[in-house]
Structure 1
Amino acid sequence: MSKIHPTAIIEPGAQLDESVEVGAYAIVGAHVAIGARTTIGSHSVIEGHTTIGEDNRIGHYASVGGRPQDMKYKDEPTRLEIGNRNTIREFTTIHTGTVQDQGVTVIGDDCWIMAYVHVGHDCRLGSNVIMSSNAQLAGHVFVDDFAIVGGMSGVHQFVRIGAHSMLGGASALVQDVPPFVIAAGNKAEPHGINVEGLRRRGFSAEAISALRAAYRVVYKSGLSLEEAKVQLRELGVAGGDGDAPVTAFSDFIAASQRGIIR
């Protein structure tokens, strides 16, 4: 028995593994490639130059691979790349990239993307990212591995959200969130280290303690950011289990283009 509903439209040129399931009235465009055991819900549209890996579940009425919401876009063949084992729920919108950036929007593996989420052009989601319902990413946003974006939050273009961080619900984020940090509010402000999340992911007590010390240097010491960067570099060579997380925290802050939340 075919796994493609008879009312679905698969345009000539589309490449679907024989195990892919496509629901009623769904549309799959000519430049789409879909890997094994992925399921496409009814009424969804998968279009553009889009590659989807294996074991993904795409809900009903999703719009994946659409044109960027960028007035500079002139029909260039930009791309969307989605990895493996992602869940993308109902009414989500994910757009391809633009030539003004790298020309590609990327979603990693094992992400959980809830209903009504928007992922704008040229965004890059790492792996194990959670985006709660109605979270909205403008263009060029980076969300690193294991980050959580709360429901009804809005993220400004070119912002980066660090690994293992958490953005609370209904937040407005206009600057970068360092890794391991909890942020919330309008405009979003820092609210400590994501201790519970780190414990669940196996971070040691020593590593969490070191991150707390690094957080205090940046947010509680009264130092300027440049002074805090110097102290962070010293913390990152203490010779303990916290070295790698503190170095990641320090390197992220040093590389930030928009500045970090304060």
Structure 2
Amino acid sequence: MRIISFAAIKGGVGKTTLTFNYGEWLSRQGKNVLLIDCDHQCSLSQTYNLFTTENTVYNIFEGGEVEIHNIHSNLDIIPSSPMLDELETELSTKHNKDLLLMMWFQDNIDTIRKYDFVLIDCHPDFLTVTKNAIAISHYILSPIEPSQYGFTSKSLLLERLSNFKDEVIDVRSRESYITAQTLFIGNRIRHNTKSSKEFSQKISEDKNVIALIPEKELFNRSTLDGTPIVEMQEDKEINVKNKTFFNALDSTFRNITNTIEK
């Protein structure tokens, strides 16, 4: 099993769109995938028309039943709850509050061991729920966009991760429980603008940047329409018009998967 958190300090960078489309792509490759929506905005859940406050990811942190919803063959999801944003205050004095998701996984290992990939969509922050996701992850995939704040948010995420690693340690071995490797994805790259060209050149020099995804309205709208790119490819008319983008995205997802499965 590979557990991957899609996390970023800045909102609106395409985390949910990437989680949605990568999860759907993996499931078409024959992988068993579990999506976990850890964003109280519930965007990933709503993409699948899941509107509920019962048996959601919230119960992982507060106790109670958690329901895993089947989307289609090979793809399941644990939906989010708008009540997640209340957890910061509710968990403020709780012991091991940053490891609650890890403990839930251990308690339910017989249920989740069947998954090849667990993809976690995080809220754009570095608070308790996001820390829980990072604590259990093997990898963090963080999309960044062509802007000065994109570089700033990248540095800020790495700084907070470093501090988090120092905070959550085994008191006996002095080793951190936080072992996730952080990888970055350049997203919404416009190759016909100076800023995007400069951005692409600069981030391509970073060995932790593993993919560049071009700006494409089709991709950006996929979550709004609830139609993943891999499904759009099955439409011959859409495929012909967007074949170059589809091939590039397929190559990107294969590269990400090969990196993560090493």
Is TM-score (shorter-chain normalized) higher than 0.5? no
Q: TM-score, normalised by structure 1?
A: 0.23
Structure with bigger RCO (C-alpha 8 Å, 6+ apart): 2
TM-score (norm 2): 0.23
Question: Which has the larger Rg?
Answer: 1
